[in-house]
């Protein structure tokens, strides 16, 4: 995959997103998103074809977009990844946002990152709780 390829267009730096196959503005949040995509595909070995970027969902009948959604091999959403700029701390507010998105997708995992810190959670539906994980799961099952 072609990672971190940039161009200057209209005096703005744009980065190529190999998942969406487009150039997009290189904002601080987009930089974190591209690094996370690289991590998921190249380090964790998630198939690029099972990843969606800026995935549209509805939450309480309002349109929202998940930064990254990873699907399992059956095509069902498995993990929501919420990316923030490095300057934005990962707080309870960010977790609450991901949980709201969860209500629109019913995934098993939430991953929150600002590029400096990363938090991964497993959603235990049977016991109605969210459990912090030490690592991002290696393989998305099914």
Q: Which domains does the chain carry?
A: 6-133 (3.90.1570.30)
Output the pTM of the full model. 0.91
Residue 124, strand partner residues? 129
Secondary structure letter of residue 84 according to DSSP: -
Residues 32 and 115: beta-carbon distance below 8 Å = yes
Residues 40 and 52: beta-carbon distance below 8 Å = no
Kindly list the distances between the CA atom of residue 65 and the CA atoms of 27, 75, 98, 105, in Å, as whole numbers in the listed order. 17, 18, 11, 11
pLDDT under 70: residue ranges of the chain: 139-142
Residues written for the chain: 142
Cα 72 to Cα 36: distance, rounded to the nearest angstrom: 18
Count CB neighbours of 34 within 10 A: 24
pLDDT value, residue 14: 97
pLDDT value, residue 27: 96
pLDDT value, residue 111: 96
pLDDT value, residue 41: 95
pLDDT value, residue 57: 87
Cα 113 to Cα 86: distance, rounded to the nearest angstrom: 8
pLDDT value, residue 140: 62
């Amino acid at each position: 995959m072609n990672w971190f390829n940039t161009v200057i267009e209209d005096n703005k730096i744009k980065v190529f997103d190999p998942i969406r196959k487009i150039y997009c503005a290189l904002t601080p949040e987009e930089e974190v998103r591209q690094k996370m995509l690289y991590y998921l595909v190249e380090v964790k070995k998630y198939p690029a074809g099972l990843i969606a970027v800026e995935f549209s969902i509805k939450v309480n009948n309002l349109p929202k977009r998940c930064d990254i959604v990873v699907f399992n091999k059956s095509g069902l959403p498995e993990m929501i990844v919420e990316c923030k700029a490095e300057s934005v701390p990962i707080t309870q507010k960010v977790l609450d946002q991901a949980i709201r998105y969860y209500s629109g997708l019913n995934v098993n995992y939430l991953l929150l990152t600002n590029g400096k810190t990363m938090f991964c959670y497993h959603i235990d539906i049977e016991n109605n709780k969210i459990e912090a994980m030490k690592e991002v799961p290696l393989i998305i099952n099914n």
